[in-house]
Amino acid sequence: MAINFIASGLLASSNFFMQVLVAPTRTDVDRAHAKGRALEVGLQSWRNLFYVPWRNRCFWVLLAVSTIPLHLVFNSCVLESKASTDFLMLMTSEKFIG
């Protein structure tokens, strides 16, 4: 259960930092407006990726590529799963009983 909390916290913090990385500054907005483009402020948008500095883009892609697989694999790496059951089925003849 603690693993789920840690993995969810990791996903939430990564999402927050991804949103901060694509948040345009006033300079980014001015450059986009000079090219006749609009940016979205206050939310994570693919459109903003093309107008933020390259370093922000690199970190955003790094977080996007690493976060989801890490979140999905986190539980399976720590918890043991049991693939078999304790069920036993026998087919016998009546001679076995008597």
Domain range summary for the chain, segments of one domain joined by +: 2-78
pLDDT for the residue numbered 45: 83
pLDDT for the residue numbered 77: 65
pLDDT in tens, 56-93: 999 999 998 888 777 677 666 665 556 666 777 788 88
**Cα dihedral 55, 65, 71, 74 sign:** negative
pLDDT for the residue numbered 72: 72
pLDDT in tens, 14-44: 889 999 999 998 998 999 999 998 888 888 8
Closest CA to 51 of 24, 15, 84: 24
pLDDT for the residue numbered 54: 93
